[in-house]
Structure 1
């Protein structure tokens, strides 16, 4: 289990995290820098260079990870994913019951319950977090 994220939730979603491994299993030497490891870890899905330049990768203390930082094994790196546009799912979430520990809702049909795949912001969990100001 990772430690608590140093980044706040954004758009109702917690920051994602990755943990640096001991070493590259295909090479006897570890990566030279954190930037090199991040490029290896996210070869096509993430624009690592612009995220590094923008300080969007942070370590456990919230300090931005720099491209040239020496590679450090067993470190957590936190970041927010860029979200794609999603078509809105019509309908309101109707709160049936709410107390300090539980929220029960009646959801519209076709609204995803949890954020997965192409339905992240348009999911019950994320919409409730945003609409009700829930931290987690």
Structure 2
């Protein structure tokens, strides 16, 4: 993982109250979202799946609505799923998620706007300094980043 991927993960986790969208995880793993969802459904118990589920509805041009089935994973679930595919990515994912959550908590707990800005700057510097998984080639990192855009 590189800094751009970590930044995308951070944005996704922040937007989803500390949980990672399975679609983004699938892109990071180089897998199709429906295949990752199927693997999760076959691995996790039903009660855990109900807590992960986050169905969204979007309006279509013809006036109808489309249901988008997705799952939101906490950091432990996301790392477990990533480990099923690639252990090195799961380590990088855990580090990125921890950086995102600690930065979010620091900004939330700040007493003043100045403290919040300082905490956000520290969190972003931690994310930017993250070196990622060295086992990925330059082409693999480029392809993963391209898929995130």
TM-score, normalised to structure 1's length? 0.25
Structure that is richer in helix per residue: 2
Higher relative contact order (CA 8 A, sep 6+): 2
Structure that is richer in strand per residue: 1
TM-score, normalised to structure 2's length? 0.23
